[in-house]
Amino acid sequence: MNLHYLVKEPKEILASNPALLLLHGYGSNEEDLFSFASQLPENYYIISARAPYNLDGYGFAWYAINFDADENKFSDNEQAKTSIQLIADFINEITEKFPINPSDVNLIGFSQGAILSYGVAFHYPEKIKRIVALSGYLNEQLLPDTFDVNTMHHLGFFASHGTVDQVIPVEWARKTQPYLEKLGLTITYKEYPVGHGVAPQNFWDFKTWLEQE
């Protein structure tokens, strides 16, 4: 396996099972979102992946975030694109290793994990079914130069953000819904009066969305 991960098997393992792939944020690890696992729907394989870049005692990252002399943040988009490919390869590996239905793989990403989830959706729409993007945004610089939106109409998106997020401004997240809807894609977008995190109501809302879709 190209990524270290944790796995929780479904309550009843069938010949073909849906999967939830959890992608953590910058400076965290695979145990973070996996703490949700016991409360997520029981019929899924729940797999939480660790990002590939070690931040020397400060967790892991999917790509570097650098600061210039004026303390402006900028993302290493080339590393991010490499991680999009890593995630796509990882999906291939888990669908071969476990009895996972390759047409029912769903991503739950937080922050960097959410940003990359959008990237995977545009680069490899055939590999995933739904995306839950928590406290992230759609970075157009990570999208393919050309893509066929007709290959994406099966995708479902749930995006959410804190209105007082001090890490990723809510204004960035608010651009996602009109962008996707202009392409004819379906998205549920919600905001909560919190910072850079997942409020309890946020969790229950996306869990309900997963169970209804």
| pLDDT at residue number 59 | 94
Does residue 187 contact residue 159 with C-beta atoms inside 8 Å? yes
- The answer to whether residue 56 sits within a structural domain is yes
**Residue-wise DSSP of 28-75:** B-HHHHHTTGGGS-TTSEEEEEPPSEE-SSS-EESS-EEE-TT--EEE
Q: What CATH number does the domain containing 118 carry?
A: 3.40.50.1820
Amino acid of residue 212: Q
168 in any annotated domain: no
Residue 160 lies in a domain: no
Burial of 168 (0-12, 13-18, 19+ CB in 10 A): buried
Q: Which residues of the chain have pLDDT under 50?
A: none
Give, in order, the Cα–Cα distances in Å from 201 to each of 80, 160, 198, 208: 30, 11, 8, 10
Length of the chain: 213
User: What is residue 183's predicted lDDT score, i.e. its pLDDT?
Assistant: 96
**Has residue 126 been placed in a domain?**
yes
In a domain, 73, yes or no: yes
H or E stretch covering 5: strand 5-8
Residue 58's pLDDT is 84
Confidence (pLDDT) at 155: 97
Domain membership of residue 186 (yes or no) is no
Tens of pLDDT along 34-66?
A: 999 999 999 999 999 999 999 988 899 999 887
> What pLDDT is attached to residue 34?
94
pLDDT on residue 66: 73
Residue 175 lies in a domain: no
Residue 111 backbone class (left: φ over 0; alpha: ψ -120 to 50; beta: rest)? left
What pLDDT, on a 0 to 100 scale, did the predictor assign at position 68? Answer: 61
Domain for residue 193, yes or no?
no
Per DSSP, the residues of 91-132 read HHHHHHHS-EEEEEEEEEEETHHHHHHHHHHHH-GGG-SEEE
CA 96 to chain centre: 21
Q: What domain range is 29 assigned to? A: 5-154
pLDDT of residue 100: 98
Determine the pLDDT at residue 30.
Answer: 97
- E strands along 125-196, which residues? 130-134, 156-162, 186-192
The total number of structural domains in the chain stands at 1
From CA 124, how far away is CA 121, in angstroms rounded? 5
**What pLDDT does residue 186 have?**
95
